[in-house]
């Protein structure tokens, strides 16, 4: 040992070699124990049993990992209630909706799978396939149409049974179902809307095509310019890892206000793994008796299941069909010729025609798009929508 109690260079090298050898021995030991542990108990030799008994810490860790994998596997499984059980639960849900004073609906990707839009965590979801190392193909959303669930929600709102809808989806199908923009908070944006953030208030441009062709994480400019001030337009999408700062169409102010008033929350087709991270949506600051009752419709486990008054294991369209029948309401059919997007959209100027290659949403051949709904004003010059830039657009909110 060198003077002053410090190790010499050769001693430090020897200590480092000894540590490396010890780590290698531990890895070899873990591999040996793991190989033995995976064997059926009846096939283990006495010597192997002795190795396991001398490696209790490693065995406990292997057991913990096995239980965790099993728990994750069970959570990814899709479970369907038996038809009679599902009907019984729908009757209970219908009673809760009739008695609710302020019902808010939270929607996720599961309500759009019937429109051939993949979800994220289902058996064929985007994240599920990526975790398995499988490739995913791009989906043409121009052919997607509002599902039975979208149309049911719009009908419930029309009959004053639903006060507000908070959606994680950016497919624009709530807007296209006829749900008023004032009644929607699209927390992760809308693929049909681009905005000018240089104008005050922000100017919105609703398009009939997906405006995100040139955009990505932290890259939001769409390649088009504001008709009013000439600044670059940006999409409204909030990617994973980003915080949404746009007032519309995110509409956080209305979402927070609706959640604070809610006595019933109905979650449709959402894993809630993202929504659970937004405390303002769950009124967790309130004492438990004063929190809204939670109803969840999902085939898979969600992190809010233990807090739910009722969990319905069923596909959203199946549940909503039964629910609307129980409530005595007729589900309106989607009519593409009357899709509100045609009345709300701002047409491209001639010089902008080459700025995208996405297939647009088009009305059926030989039909004229319907006029804007009575509660939605037509687009104004410059693409500013009165509804989209009215209440709640002067303050910025982040999610």
- Using alpha carbons, select from 112, 246, 242 the residue that is nearest to residue 172: 112
- The tokens describing 331, both together, are 């589900």
Question: Quick check: helix, strand or coil at residue 223?
Answer: strand
In the annotation, is 159 catalytic?
no
* Catalytic hit among 150, 188, 220, 356: 188
- The tokens describing 108, both together, are 């996720």
- The tokens describing 306, both together, are 């233990």
Any alpha helices (H) in 307-383, and if so which ranges? 316-327, 340-344
| DSSP-derived pairing of the beta strands 184-186 and 193-196 | unpaired
Maximum CA extent, the chain: 96
- The tokens describing 216, both together, are 């990505």
Neighbour-count burial of 260, counting CB atoms closer than 10 A to its CB (0-12 exposed, 13-18 middle, 19+ buried): middle
Question: Quick check: helix, strand or coil at residue 91?
Answer: helix
How many Cβ atoms are within 10 Å of 20's Cβ, its own excluded? Answer: 10
Q: Which residues pair with 167 in a beta bridge?
A: 107, 186
Task: Please say whether the beta carbons of 97 and 89 come within 8 A.
Answer: no
Which residues fall in the annotated binding site for Zn(2+)? 196, 199, 226, 229
Which residues fall in the annotated binding site? 196, 199, 226, 229
Cα 268-271-277 angle, rounded to 5 deg: 110
Catalytic residue numbers read 188
């Amino acid at each position: 040992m060198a003077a002053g109690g410090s190790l010499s260079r050769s001693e430090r090298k020897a200590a480092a070699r000894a540590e490396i050898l010890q780590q290698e021995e531990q890895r070899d030991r873990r591999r040996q124990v793991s190989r033995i542990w995976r064997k059926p108990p009846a096939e283990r030799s006495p010597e192997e049993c002795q190795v396991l008994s001398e490696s209790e810490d490693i065995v406990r860790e292997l057991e913990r990992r096995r239980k965790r994998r099993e728990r994750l596997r069970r959570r990814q499984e899709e479970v369907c209630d038996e038809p009679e059980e599902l009907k019984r639960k729908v009757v209970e849900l219908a009673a809760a909706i009739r008695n609710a004073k302020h019902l808010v609906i939270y929607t996720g990707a599961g309500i759009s799978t019937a429109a051939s839009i993949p979800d994220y965590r289902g058996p064929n979801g985007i994240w599920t396939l990526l975790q398995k190392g499988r490739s995913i193909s791009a989906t043409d959303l121009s052919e997607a149409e509002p599902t039975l669930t979208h149309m049911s929600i719009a009908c419930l709102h029309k009959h004053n049974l639903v006060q507000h809808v908070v959606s994680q989806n950016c497919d624009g199908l709530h807007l296209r179902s006829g749900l008023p923009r004032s009644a929607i908070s699209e927390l992760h944006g809308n693929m049909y809307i681009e905005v000018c953030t240089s104008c005050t208030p922000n100017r919105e441009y609703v398009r009939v095509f997906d405006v995100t062709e040139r955009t990505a994480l932290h890259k939001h400019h769409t390649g088009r310019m504001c008709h009013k001030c000439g600044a670059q337009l940006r999409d409204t999408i909030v990617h994973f890892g980003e915080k949404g700062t746009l007032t519309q169409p995110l509409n956080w102010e209305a979402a927070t206000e609706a959640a604070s008033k809610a006595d019933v929350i109905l979650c449709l087709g959402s894993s809630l793994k993202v929504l659970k991270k937004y405390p303002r949506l769950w009124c967790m600051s309130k004492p438990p008796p004063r929190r809204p009752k939670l109803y969840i419709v999902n085939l898979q486990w969600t992190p809010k299941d233990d807090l739910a008054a009722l969990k319905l294991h069923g596909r959203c369209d199946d549940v909503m069909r039964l629910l609307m029948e129980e409530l005595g309401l007729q589900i309106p059919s989607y009519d593409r010729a009357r899709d509100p997007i045609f009345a709300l959209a701002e047409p491209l100027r001639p010089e902008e025609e080459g700025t995208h290659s996405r297939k647009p949403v088009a009305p059926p051949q030989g039909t004229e798009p319907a006029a804007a709904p009575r509660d939605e004003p037509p687009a104004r010059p410059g693409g500013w929508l009165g509804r989209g830039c009215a209440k709640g657009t002067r303050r910025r909110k982040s999610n």
